[in-house]
Amino acid sequence: MKQRPKGDEKIDFTFLQLNDVYEIAPIQGGAFGGMARVATLYKELLKENPNTMLFLAGDFLNPSLLGTLKIDGERVRGKQMVEVMNAMNFDLVAFGNHEFDLSQKDLQKRLNESTFPWVSANVKLKTKEAAMPFYKDKEGEKEYVGETFIKDISDADGTTIKIGFISVCIPSNPKDYVEYANMFVKARASYAYLKDKVDVIFGLTHVKINHDRKIAQLIPDLPLIMGGHEHTNKYEKIGDVTIAKADANAKSVYVHKISFDKKTKKTTVQSELKEINASIEPNIEVDKVVQKWQSVLNRQIKEVIAKPNEVIFNAKVPLDGRDTTIRSQQTNLGEIITAAMSFAFNGNVDAALVNGGSIRIDDQLYGNITAVDIFKVLPYGGAILKVELTGELLKRVLDYGKLAKGTGAYLQRHNISLQNNRWLVNGKSIEPNKKYTVAFSDYLLKGYDIPFLSNTNPNVLSVYTPTIEEFGYDIRKSVAEYLKYINN
């Protein structure tokens, strides 16, 4: 780093920004991502400028395949991510909506385990008495998460400044233990609280891009908002405010090189989107933590599929498993999964149905796909059931799924279509008294998403559960075998 002249009252610093990271290891057959690679970049930036800070703009505890695994009878639930992030020495993280996928008990464990600071102005822990800040419990002492965050930095020539951060999270994941305050009100209040206490203020948010735009309009003096929530990179200028979001799963990161002049109070930001790929060697210490968890993962996957990392399909068009789409419309990934369910029975079913909530990747798959990717899509697995039921019940199930648009009960379908408000199976209208054979995910027959759908319903005429030797014994095996079949 070029040293500034003594007493010039200017200071340079660097922000390394990630957002929406669910996978600690490289993705897409090792081509992109990987937290150990990010750690290498961070170390390089630190050598260039000791005033380099590492941030994650929300969404990292869930969803992930590793998080669904059980060790000693307890699901991992983001423990692997916290271990990796501890090893990387993050400077600050924001809450994302997916942090609240965890139960209060599991989230508290992750907070307690984390050695890095968290920030949020608008999410609070809801108790019987009142809402209070989330906290880390350190040997009985509570360390509360701040609504704002302040960091002091200085350079070699003696220039010292205070940097402030504001943070808000989108209220898209209502939970009994979480209270969301208005994100715009809290963003402005946080800025007002900090502006006389620090030299410069930045945003670290987890909201939609249009929300970030509004925050930029409300607080035009923010030089930079480091955002999350969207999974594809974005870079915008609203007035003098830069809004930057990297790609999910560390496919890319943003490197922001910032200069601040204490005399003029002027901040300049130069942002570079940096791809994280196989050209970056993994950091040895962080990679040890990653490989420990990958070994656990591979052992458990091999119980179902012998070669977890074998490329089984090349997706030239992205397969859409994002929550917003998979829970509201038919997607190409939903069609592949349900077609694979039919394939498990050699096509000897009339149709296939799976609830969108079973598909947990909240991302798009493209390029080389392995069995590990299929496990990420369907982490909970489960059998495919061959169910005989009446047309009357099938229509009722389909109507329920349609009305559940936007929730996990929305149904992805194979060989079923809706035309002029009429449900068709194989192009023909459903007949109420006719018997249909449908492949269902076993979860659907438990009555959780669709209360009246279970094997106790008199309109469920028979249920066949595959044996361990059959593809249908585990939906993930069926999808993997189907992709191999259509890839040939």
pLDDT in tens, 199-212: 999 999 999 999 99
Q: pLDDT per residue over 236-268, tens digit each?
A: 999 999 999 999 999 999 999 999 999 999 999
**Cα(444)–Cα(451) distance, rounded to whole angstroms?**
9
According to the model, what pLDDT value does residue 394 have? 98
**Cα(356)–Cα(368) distance, rounded to whole angstroms?**
23
According to the model, what pLDDT value does residue 429 have? 97
The partner residues of 114 in beta bridges, in order of sequence, read none
Please report, rounded to a whole number, the percentage of residues in the chain having pLDDT higher than 70: 99
As a whole number, mean pLDDT of residues 321-328 equals 92
Mean pLDDT of all residues belonging to the chain: 95
Question: What are the structural domains of the chain?
Answer: 10-284 (3.60.21.10), 306-487 (3.90.780.10)
Please report, rounded to a whole number, the percentage of residues in the chain having pLDDT higher than 90: 83
pLDDT at 29 over 90: no
As a whole number, mean pLDDT of residues 140-167 equals 96
| Reported confidence tier of residue 7, pLDDT bands at 50, 70, 90 | low
Longest distance between any two alpha carbons in the chain, whole Å? 87
Q: Taking Cα atoms as reference points, which of 386, 403, 398 lies closest to residue 471?
A: 386
pLDDT at 4 over 80: no
pLDDT at 117 over 80: yes
pLDDT at 376 over 70: yes
According to the model, what pLDDT value does residue 27 have? 85
Three-state secondary structure string covering 396-464: HHHHHHHHCCCCCCCEEEECEEEECCEEEECCEECCCCCEEEEEEEHHHHECCCCCCCECCCCCEEEEE
**Cα(142)–Cα(463) distance, rounded to whole angstroms?**
52
| Reported confidence tier of residue 1, pLDDT bands at 50, 70, 90 | low
As a whole number, mean pLDDT of residues 319-324 equals 91
Element (H, E) at 486: helix 475-487
According to the model, what pLDDT value does residue 5 have? 61
Element (H, E) at 325: helix 323-326
Tokens 């389909």, located at residue: 398
According to the model, what pLDDT value does residue 448 have? 85
- The pTM (predicted TM-score) of the whole model is 0.82
According to the model, what pLDDT value does residue 2 have? 56
Q: pLDDT per residue over 274-318, tens digit each?
A: 999 999 999 999 999 999 999 999 888 888 888 888 899 999 999
Count how many residues are written for the chain. Answer: 488
According to the model, what pLDDT value does residue 452 have? 96
Q: Which residue has the higher pLDDT, 6 or 374?
A: 374
Q: Is the C-alpha dihedral spanning 187, 191, 232, 20 positive or negative?
A: negative
